[in-house]
Each structure stands twice: as C-alpha cells, then as structure tokens.
C-alpha cells in the first residue's frame, strides 16, 4: 500500500494512514471569465496541473482536491464569474492549514489566480503567528501577460487544446497590469477591456505553453522543497 500514489480524493483513510505524509499540496484557483476563448476554470485547471506535477516527482507529498473559488471581484461584471472574496478565502486557507496539521507537517498552496494573492499573504501571516508550516507559490513569471493573454492561452493550447476556442481569439488591453490595478480594483476589468482579456492571445502557441509549464513546475517544486525542510 505504501508504494501506491493516490490523489487524496481517491484515497481511503487506511491509505493515508499507511503512507508518509510530508507536504499536502492544495491547488487554489478561481471560477471567472477568461475572455471569449478560455474556460471559466482556467486558473483552477492550471493550478491542478502544476500541483499534480509536483506531486508526481515528490513521492511523500499528497495532492488535495482544489479550491475552485477565489477572490475574483474584479471580474464580477462578466457572467459566470463566482467569487468568495479575500476575507473568506483567507479564512478557508487558515482553517485548512490548522486542520491538516493533525496529519501533515506542511501545506503548500499552488495558486493559479493573481486576485488570490492578498488572501494568501494574510493567511501566511496567521500561520506564521501560530508557528504552522504554510507557503503559497503563485503561477506567475516575468514575461507573462496579465489575464487570458498569450501565456495562459499558450499553456491551455499545450495541455488541452480542445478547450481553447481559437476562432474567438482577440487582442485585449495591452499594458502594465500593475499600472491598471487601482482602476481594476475600483471599476473592474470590464472598464478597461470589454472582452475581459488583458494581453494578446493571438500569437499563443503550444510550444510556448510547454516552456511556461516547465518553468512553473520548477518554481513550484523548489517551493515544495523549501517548505519540506523548513523548521
């Protein structure tokens, strides 16, 4: 039994009891608009993919079911977006860390949505105060565009091209997401991009997506390893 690797959702309690338990990996994403060409679960899908890859190369880790709702208020003007907000997400993560600490020494969140960062930073502060082992790795790298642009579209083309609606690709707002943040927080994404796209997905390729996935996996594995040896 101890040689069998199972996602937590597929395991029984004797499976969990019999296997080493170092780091519990929890994908956290969102259910929100990703332009007319990408599905609403894009952030959750990518978080699950990277978390699964970390689990595959770190045999004492466990892969938890995802948290599929996040802080997505900036996308609220687009039908289909569902948001639980920063405060609720923070509380969910804190309580999950507290409860999981009975069986796992550490919990690693693989976060697929930029809007979740504030909640995860607040959760980390609580966990540090309580001397709990928690970290979050965010699926962002230098050179990626902000939302539903070339990076996310390329990764989806690499992982699951049938879920990308290629005829609907269109260029969205081009510019620094950092500079836009005050307006996004107050007026939402639709105020700057009627399509919901921040970036230009029209040149996306599966080859570029593979490179991003490999780089993000390496980033997440490094954070797992740092957390696994932390004291």
Output the DSSP codes for 131-185. T-EEEEEES--TT--SBSSHHHHHHHHHH-GGGS-GGG----B-S-HHHHHHHHH
pLDDT of 31-75, one tens digit each? 999 999 999 999 999 999 999 999 999 999 999 999 999 999 999
Domains, the chain, ordered by start: 8-147+215-225 (3.40.50.10310)
**pLDDT for res 231:** 66
**pLDDT for res 1:** 32
C-alpha distances out from residue 156 to 24, 34, 68, 169, Å: 25, 12, 17, 13
**pLDDT for res 2:** 39
Whether the pLDDT of residue 16 is over 90: the answer is yes
pLDDT of 104-161, one tens digit each? 999 999 999 999 999 999 999 999 999 999 999 999 999 999 899 999 999 999 999 9
Say whether pTM exceeds 0.85: yes
């Amino acid at each position: 039994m101890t040689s069998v690797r199972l996602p937590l959702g597929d395991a029984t309690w004797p499976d969990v009891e019999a296997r080493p338990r170092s780091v519990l990996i929890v994908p956290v994403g969102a259910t929100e608009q990703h332009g007319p060409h990408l599905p609403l679960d894009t952030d959750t899908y990518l978080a699950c993919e990277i978390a699964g890859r970390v689990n595959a190369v770190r045999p004492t880790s466990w892969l938890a079911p995802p948290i599929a709702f996040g802080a997505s208020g900036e996308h609220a003007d687009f039908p289909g977006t569902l948001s639980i907000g920063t405060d609720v997400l923070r509380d969910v993560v804190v309580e999950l860390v507290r409860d999981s600490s009975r069986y796992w020494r550490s919990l690693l969140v693989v976060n697929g949505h930029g809007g979740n960062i504030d909640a995860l930073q607040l959760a980390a502060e609580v966990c540090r105060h309580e001397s709990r082992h928690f970290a979050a790795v965010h699926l962002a790298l230098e050179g990626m565009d902000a939302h539903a642009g070339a990076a996310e579209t390329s990764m989806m083309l690499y992982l699951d091209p049938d879920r990308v609606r290629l005829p609907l690709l269109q260029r969205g707002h081009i510019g620094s997401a950092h500079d836009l943040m005050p307006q996004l927080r107050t007026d939402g994404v639709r105020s700057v991009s009627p399509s919901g796209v921040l970036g230009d997905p029209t040149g996306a390729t599966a080859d570029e997506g593979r490179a991003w996935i490999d780089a993000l996996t390496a980033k997440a594995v490094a954070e797992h390893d740092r957390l696994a040896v932390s004291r």
